[in-house]
A = this chain, B = another copy of it.
């Protein structure tokens, strides 16, 4: 794959954490060349002014968002914007033949009514929206490979679904028994300054938030419903953890078959993910740490069965900004291009 063949790609919303992860990862990707960085508030600024540590490798200036220009220069574009903006751009970009990978919530819902109920605003892109594929490769690899528009799930949803999918798909649990107790580092909330995300507030403390009504709930339920084959509701509780990166979902559920043992579960998970190079099912008795996944596109999964209480407990960890955001989008692009799914994506964390 020589330089002549590199795919020209753009990133809209380059100054946020999604943007800088994409830039960082794509610099090491042998198949693409970043030719465009776009943004509103940061337009006109050299990227290296915002992130000086990348000055020796990134010589681009952030440009105003101009869909024509993007389409003329890029064959694929990542939209890394706050919710509610991508759907004003994607229709035009798609119509001009650009492959679009959206990192926001705009294209994650099959039913736009659900989107509007939880995110508000109007949507005039029903037709485009119907083209969108849900960008979780471990579940929708084939559809992604043929998509032109992908709505990539974020960190909480990805990590939760990777823990739950085998249970639901194989009918191993009572779906409505699922409880997801999720814990995330603060970078998941983005780079816009807010009081509760200050180090002085968030460090050395720990708190739940959005209990019972976090808007990732309907997204998790949409996919769980699809996997189970009937409507499923789950309990989802996010917590803010005093660390930069990393996400852990501790998932509790009641097995249908009380005789199911841990070793069988490990075998089932290993088989379910046998073609998923980024999923690492851990041996019996090993539980994952978030740090293992940091700086990689991996998801480590540990499984426990409690015969006393008749519960299965699945623990999954990811780097919320890689497998939970930018890395996942690149994994989708790899599939859309027919490349090896792992191309350019890191698989080894720096520990400690």
Contacts and interface: CB of A to CB of B under 8 A. Distances in A.
A199 B190 CA distance: 11
A205 B290 contact: yes
Given A183-B183, A191-B200, A199-B203, A235 B208 contact: no
A111 interface: no
Interface in A205-249: 205-209, 211-212, 233-235, 237, 239, 241-246, 248
Contacts of A28: 348
A188 B179 CA distance: 26
A289 B17 CA distance: 17
A237 to B, nearest CB: 6
A201 B352 contact: yes
A304 B197 contact: no
Contact of A199 (B21, B186, B309): B186
Interface stretch (A50-58, A91-99, A143-151): A50-58
B351 A53 contact: yes
Q: How many interface residues does chain A have, given as a range?
A: 35 or more
* Copies of this chain per assembly: 4
B193 A206 contact: no
B193 A194 contact: yes
Query: Which residue, of A183, A206, A252, A300, has the highest number of chain B Cβ atoms within 10 A?
Result: A206
Contacts of A239: 183, 248, 250
Contacts of A198: 186, 191, 193, 197-199
A179 B252 CA distance: 8
Contacts of A169: none
Interface string A179-192: 10101011101011
A287 interface: yes
Nearest to A241: B206
Interface in A12-34: 17, 20-21, 24, 27-28
Interface string A264-284: 000000000000000010100
A130 interface: no
A244 B243 CA distance: 11
Contacts of A209: 287
A292 to B, nearest CB: 3
A295 interface: yes
Given A191-B195, A198-B199, A207 B248 contact: yes
Contacts of A186: 198-200, 203
A347 interface: yes
A286 interface: yes
Nearest to A311: B235
26 contacts: A17-B200, A24-B348, A52-B286, A53-B351, A56-B280, A57-B348, A179-B179, A179-B252, A183-B206, A183-B239, A187-B200, A189-B200, A193-B194, A193-B198, A197-B198, A197-B200, A198-B198, A200-B352, A207-B287, A211-B313, A211-B315, A212-B304, A212-B306, A212-B309, A235-B311, A242-B243
Q: Which 4 A-B pairs have the closest CB atoms?
A: A53-B292, A205-B291, A193-B193, A187-B200
Interface of A: 17, 20-21, 24, 27-28, 51-57, 176, 179, 181, 183, 185-187, 189, 191-195, 197-209, 211-212, 233-235, 237, 239, 241-246, 248, 250, 252, 280, 282, 286-295, 300, 302, 304-306, 308-309, 311, 313, 315, 317, 321-322, 347-352
